[in-house]
């Protein structure tokens, strides 16, 4: 027995030490084939099956299935969920769909562009990449447009989304004009901020499909120019970059003109590069300052940005399409842990086009062992936190995980009044003076904590639970696509479920859809698995 375990551990260790090689020789080529098959499937779907004019018909078919479910005797009903397999979604948890009654939502079409309303109506499975490819050539983009091309517009609406434009407009949910929902009795309703379903409007975001099925949505769009004039501002000193972010985002003065796009990448506690981007045309004579930074041979974005710490402040023009996908090739900085030599110039030149590995493929091939390892040896968290405590966030993240870079996207959190949705109104000291919103930020912590890198003891569950306690204390919220470690009680202390529970009762979601906490909690016993994996290999 003992030697068998020893062998297993040695193999695991060898594979960890040579991870880059394995990824390049096996994972990337398979991921490429996998992606080609997925693209082909999509192409077939769009060519032969897709048709926006069939939207109503397809929705009626979904309604019929839900009605049929609701007509069963109560004791025979299993909770409902969408039939989309877990591996196709970006969430890190694997919800037990096998225990549910699955309803297919095959809705992949862009329905209507409404320039006079500055909006677009889409089906929920339209991806960010698909929407961008449609909108940008027509001179628009989504007001809140994620960096991840595979994310779906419906998934983001039922969960949460934010981007570098969110200091102007808030979370993705603020850019939603209408949701079209099929409720548990099979009825179809159009939900807006001010109509009779406004209670639903405020509780659908962060509900993760536990109130009904989304079958269409209308989203706000904005006008664009073809390029982003991007300025890279290296800043030394934690206090200095935190202050500059608060100032630039408009957190201190609601009337201050803010840049269109704003983010910071923090490279260590005392050094960050702040990126300020505005829509712009390229003035004559400046064509040499255009950077197509997503081309396969170009350096990874965060590595490229890091150079400005030495080179000093500079600017350039980035085509909008490149800007929106700037973090794609290195999946922020996650690919480096898989392929440590991936940013080598020769590697990029010959193999750079293989990147990034498709997240769906990685999830498709995730075995329970890999799943357990990823959450005990890697952090993947996006957390919404108040910007007036940015310094504390950075200290906390270093104390618990000690990994860099760390990402900061500023974001408005609106005060919609007490008990309206799952987010509470910002606290008084978090509000922007004179405005109806507070300035928060996404703190993105992705990667391998230093103790794990140094093969030291690391208690992932303990660290994550401490981060969650900090988040709750300062009035923040973790994105729920990532692993959470809270008990139901702790969860209800962080999120305000008052309106959510009322809406669940009113629209008969109880018994029809799982409860939010059951939907998003990890499918494995994290505390137990955490203990097993705590000792270094």
Ligand X SMILES: *[C@@H]1O[C@H](CO)[C@@H](O)[C@H](O)[C@H]1NC(C)=O
Cα torsion at 518, 520, 524, 530 (round to 10°)? -120
- Least distance in angstroms from the C-beta of 312 to ligand X: 15
Task: Kindly report the number of other CB atoms within 10 A of residue 341's CB atom.
Answer: 12
Q: Please choose which of ligand X, ligand FAD, none residue 231 contacts, taking the beta carbon within 5 to 8 angstroms, the exact cut-off set by kind.
A: ligand X
How many CA atoms does the CB half-sphere of 516 hold within 13 Å?
A: 28
Q: Please choose which of ligand X, ligand FAD, none residue 278 contacts, taking the beta carbon within 5 to 8 angstroms, the exact cut-off set by kind.
A: ligand X
**Element spanning 246, H or E:** helix 238-249
Instruction: Report the largest interatomic distance among the alpha carbons of the chain, rounded to a whole angstrom.
Output: 73
- Least distance in angstroms from the C-beta of 471 to ligand FAD: 16
What residues between 426 and 455 interact with ligand X by CB under 6 A?
A: none
Burial class of 417 by CB neighbour count within 10 A (0 to 12, 13 to 18, 19+): exposed
- According to the binding rule CB under 6 A, does residue 246 interact with ligand X? no
The tokens of 367 are what? 């075995």
Report d(CA 447, CA 453) in Å as an integer: 10
475: left (phi over 0), alpha (psi -120 to 50) or beta: left
For ligand X, the closer of residues 35 and 231 by Cβ is: 231
Using the rule CB under 6 A, give the single segment among 32-40, 110-118, 257-265, 365-373 that binds ligand X: 257-265
Q: Please choose which of ligand X, ligand FAD, none residue 257 contacts, taking the beta carbon within 5 to 8 angstroms, the exact cut-off set by kind.
A: ligand X
Using the rule CB under 6 A, give the single segment among 13-21, 117-125, 232-240, 253-261 that binds ligand X: 253-261
- Enter the DSSP assignment of 299: P
The tokens of 22 are what? 């394995």
- Least distance in angstroms from the C-beta of 457 to ligand X: 46
Task: Kindly report the number of other CB atoms within 10 A of residue 380's CB atom.
Answer: 18
Q: Please choose which of ligand X, ligand FAD, none residue 105 contacts, taking the beta carbon within 5 to 8 angstroms, the exact cut-off set by kind.
A: ligand FAD
- According to the binding rule CB under 6 A, does residue 252 interact with ligand X? no
For ligand X, the closer of residues 275 and 354 by Cβ is: 275
Of 84, 202, 227, 229, the one binding ligand X by CB under 6 A: 229
Phi and psi for 269 in degrees, rounded to 5?
-50, -30
Q: Please choose which of ligand FAD, ligand X, none residue 209 contacts, taking the beta carbon within 5 to 8 angstroms, the exact cut-off set by kind.
A: ligand FAD
- Enter the DSSP assignment of 509: -
For ligand X, the closer of residues 231 and 523 by Cβ is: 231
Decide: 160 and 253 in contact? Cβ < 8 Å.
no
| Token pair 């504390």: residue | 392
Cα angle, residue 155 at apex, residues 88 and 397 outer, rounded to 5°: 90
For ligand FAD, the closer of residues 185 and 462 by Cβ is: 185
- Least distance in angstroms from the C-beta of 118 to ligand X: 21
Of 187, 198, 278, 291, the one binding ligand X by CB under 6 A: 278
Report d(CA 505, CA 498) in Å as an integer: 11
- Least distance in angstroms from the C-beta of 154 to ligand FAD: 4
- Give the interface size with ligand X as a residue count (CB under 6 A): 8
For ligand X, the closer of residues 229 and 363 by Cβ is: 229
Decide: 184 and 211 in contact? Cβ < 8 Å.
no
- According to the binding rule CB under 6 A, does residue 257 interact with ligand X? yes
- Which residue pairs from 458-463 have beta carbons closer than 8 angstroms and sit at least 24 positions apart in sequence? 458/376, 458/377, 458/534, 458/536, 459/530, 459/534, 460/375, 460/376, 460/377, 460/379, 460/530, 460/533, 460/534, 461/376, 461/485, 461/526, 461/527, 461/530, 461/531, 462/530, 463/379, 463/400, 463/401
Using the rule CB under 6 A, give the single segment among 25-33, 44-52, 251-259, 376-384 that binds ligand X: 251-259
- Least distance in angstroms from the C-beta of 461 to ligand FAD: 21
- According to the binding rule CB under 6 A, does residue 276 interact with ligand X? yes
- Least distance in angstroms from the C-beta of 142 to ligand FAD: 12
Q: Please choose which of ligand X, ligand FAD, none residue 82 contacts, taking the beta carbon within 5 to 8 angstroms, the exact cut-off set by kind.
A: ligand FAD
Q: Please choose which of ligand X, ligand FAD, none residue 229 contacts, taking the beta carbon within 5 to 8 angstroms, the exact cut-off set by kind.
A: ligand X
Q: Please choose which of ligand X, ligand FAD, none residue 159 contacts, taking the beta carbon within 5 to 8 angstroms, the exact cut-off set by kind.
A: ligand FAD
Report d(CA 427, CA 165) in Å as an integer: 23
For ligand FAD, the closer of residues 85 and 312 by Cβ is: 85
Q: Which residues have CB under 8 Å from 346's CB, separation 6+?
A: none
Decide: 441 and 409 in contact? Cβ < 8 Å.
yes
- Least distance in angstroms from the C-beta of 279 to ligand X: 9
- Least distance in angstroms from the C-beta of 232 to ligand X: 9
For ligand X, the closer of residues 277 and 514 by Cβ is: 277
What residues between 321 and 350 interact with ligand X by CB under 6 A?
A: none
For ligand FAD, the closer of residues 213 and 317 by Cβ is: 213
For ligand X, the closer of residues 229 and 348 by Cβ is: 229
Using the rule CB under 6 A, give the single segment among 8-16, 252-260, 400-408, 471-479 that binds ligand X: 252-260
Q: Please choose which of ligand X, ligand FAD, none residue 162 contacts, taking the beta carbon within 5 to 8 angstroms, the exact cut-off set by kind.
A: ligand FAD
Question: Does 356 sit behind a cis peptide bond, omega within 30 degrees of 0 on the bond before it?
Answer: yes
Report d(CA 405, CA 410) in Å as an integer: 16
> Which residues here bind ligand FAD, judged by CB under 6 A?
82, 89-91, 105, 124, 146-148, 151-152, 154-156, 158-159, 161-162, 208-209, 213-214, 331, 359, 382, 479, 481, 519
List interacting residues with ligand X (CB under 6 A).
Answer: 229, 231, 257-259, 276, 278, 315
């Amino acid at each position: 027995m003992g030697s068998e375990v020893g062998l297993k551990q040695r193999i695991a260790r060898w594979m960890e030490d040579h991870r880059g090689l394995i990824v390049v020789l096996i994972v990337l080529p398979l991921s490429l084939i996998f992606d080609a098959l997925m693209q082909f499937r999509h192409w077939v779907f769009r060519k032969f099956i897709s048709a926006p004019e069939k939207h109503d018909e397809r929705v009626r078919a979904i309604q019929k299935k839900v009605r049929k479910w609701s007509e069963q005797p109560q004791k025979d009903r299993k909770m409902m969920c969408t039939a989309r397999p877990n591996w196709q979604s970006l969430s890190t948890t694997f919800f037990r769909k096998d225990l549910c009654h699955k309803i297919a939502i095959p809705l992949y079409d862009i329905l209507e562009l409404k320039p006079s309303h500055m909006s677009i109506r889409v089906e929920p499975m339209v991806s960010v990449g698909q929407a961008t490819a449609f909108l940008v050539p027509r001179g628009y983009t989504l007001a809140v447009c994620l960096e991840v091309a595979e994310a779906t517009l419906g998934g983001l609406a039922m969960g949460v989304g934010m981007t570098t434009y969110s200091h102007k407009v808030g979370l993705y949910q603020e850019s939603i004009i209408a949701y079209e929902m099929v409720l548990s009795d099979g009825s179809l309703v159009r939900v807006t901020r001010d109509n009779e379903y406004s209670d639903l409007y405020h509780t659908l975001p962060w509900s993760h499909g536990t109130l009904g099925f989304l079958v269409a949505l209308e989203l706000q769009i904005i006008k664009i120019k073809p390029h982003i004039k991007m300025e890279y501002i290296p800043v030394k000193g934690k206090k200095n970059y935190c202050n500059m972010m608060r100032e630039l985002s408009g957190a201190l003065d609601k009337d201050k003109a803010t840049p269109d796009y704003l983010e910071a990448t923090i490279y260590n506690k005392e050094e960050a590069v702040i990126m300020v981007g505005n829509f712009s045309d390229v003035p004559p004579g400046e064509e040499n300052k255009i950077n197509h930074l997503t081309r396969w041979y170009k350096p990874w974005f965060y590595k490229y940005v890091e150079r400005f710490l030495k080179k000093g402040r500079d600017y350039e023009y980035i085509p909008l399409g490149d800007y929106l996908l700037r973090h794609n090739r290195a999946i922020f900085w996650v690919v480096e842990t898989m392929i440590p030599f991936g940013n080598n110039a020769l590697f990029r030149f010959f193999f750079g086009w293989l990147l990034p590995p498709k997240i769906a493929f990685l999830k498709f091939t995730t075995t329970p062992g890999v799943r357990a390892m990823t959450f005990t040896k890697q952090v993947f968290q996006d957390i919404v936190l108040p910007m007036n405590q940015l310094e504390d966030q950075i200290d906390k993240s270093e104390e618990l995980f000690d990994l860099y870079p760390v990402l900061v996207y500023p974001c408005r959190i609106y005060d919609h009044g007490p008990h309206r949705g799952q987010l509470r109104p910002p606290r008084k000291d978090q509000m922007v003076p004179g405005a109806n919103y507070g300035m928060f930020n996404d703190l993105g912590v992705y990667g391998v904590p230093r103790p794990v890198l140094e093969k030291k003891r690391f208690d992932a569950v303990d660290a994550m639970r401490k981060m969650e306690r900090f988040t709750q204390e300062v009035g923040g919220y973790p994105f729920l696509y990532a692993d959470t470690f809270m008990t139901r009680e702790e969860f209800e202390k962080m999120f305000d479920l008052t309106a959510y529970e009322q809406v669940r009762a009113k629209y008969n979601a109880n018994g029809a859809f799982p409860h939010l906490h059951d939907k998003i909690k990890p499918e494995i016993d994290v505390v137990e698995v955490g203990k097993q994996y705590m000792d270094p290999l």
